[in-house]
Amino acid sequence: MSYVNPLHAPVSAASRSQFSSLGGAVNGVPSASQFISPNRRRLPQAPYTPSTKSRGSGGRASQLNHPIAFDYLGHSKQGIPMRELSTRGGHTLASMVHGAGDQVLVHTGLARINLHILWPGYEHVGWTEPIEIHLNGPIARAQLGAAVAMSFARFVEKTRSQPSRSPEWHLSPTGIRFDQLVLVSMYNVFEDVWQADVAVDLR
């Protein structure tokens, strides 16, 4: 069921932009993809920009890594619902996720990455959460997707008591819910900081 915003007239699916500055900010990757579902919209996000102090503290800017995509087997650039990633077991995800066992971050040599969430209207919340990527061996694509989904679940829970500056992207039981979120891909935006390219199923 889609959320009807009483403050604004409804916008037709054909008129909705798929633009997000997140994708276009990294390695020239296109910022939009065509979703098969007409109810699926990409979350507009600005890429994380470190403060001047943070930018200089690392001594050098590391080369950014390629995006990591999340898709069901047989699909491309459609993403996977976060509710599936957060509740399914490893064996089930292995049979559902394209490249589920790929060690997607082994080449970085890092022990952890930091997931940064910049949700429209909640920029003041300031959410960064570490994800361990080398515990019992290098993390696999499906495991990474599950970790990201769980972080978003915690973020959504935290924002329930926070004001939103964007009614269209308001997170609440009567607005956008966690079970509507879709993980499309992950982008390395700065050194060990990554952001998720997210879509929302408005139905």
Check if the beta carbon of residue 167 is closer than 8 Å to that of residue 8: yes
pTM, 2 dp: 0.81
Secondary structure element (H or E) that encloses residue 87, with its range: helix 82-87
Q: What is the pLDDT of residue 22?
A: 61
Taking alpha carbons only, the member of 199, 119, 115 closest to residue 150 is 115
Check whether 12 has a pLDDT greater than 50: no
Q: Which two tokens stand for residue 183?
A: 């993980």
Tens digit of each residue's pLDDT (9 = 90 or more) over 14-43: 444 444 556 554 443 434 458 999 999 999
Q: Which two tokens stand for residue 118?
A: 């910049």
Distance of CA 102 to the CA centre of its chain: 19
φ/ψ of residue 89, rounded to 5: -80, 170
φ/ψ of residue 66, rounded to 5: -70, 150
Count other C-beta atoms under 10 Å from residue 97's C-beta: 24
Tens digit of each residue's pLDDT (9 = 90 or more) over 136-195: 889 999 999 999 999 999 999 999 888 999 999 999 999 999 999 999 999 999 999 999
Q: Is 147 helix (H, G, I), strand (E, B) or coil?
A: helix
Residue 146, C-beta contacts closer than 8 angstroms, at least 6 positions apart: 85, 86, 88, 93
Q: What is the pLDDT of residue 103?
A: 96
Check whether 80 has a pLDDT greater than 70: yes
Tokens 């065509």 belong to which residue? 34
Q: What is the pLDDT of residue 153?
A: 97
Residue 182, C-beta contacts closer than 8 angstroms, at least 6 positions apart: 40, 78, 79, 80, 81, 82, 198, 199, 200, 201
Check if the beta carbon of residue 17 is closer than 8 Å to that of residue 188: no
Q: What is the pLDDT of residue 3?
A: 37
Q: How far is 133 from 67, CA to CA, in rounded Å?
A: 16
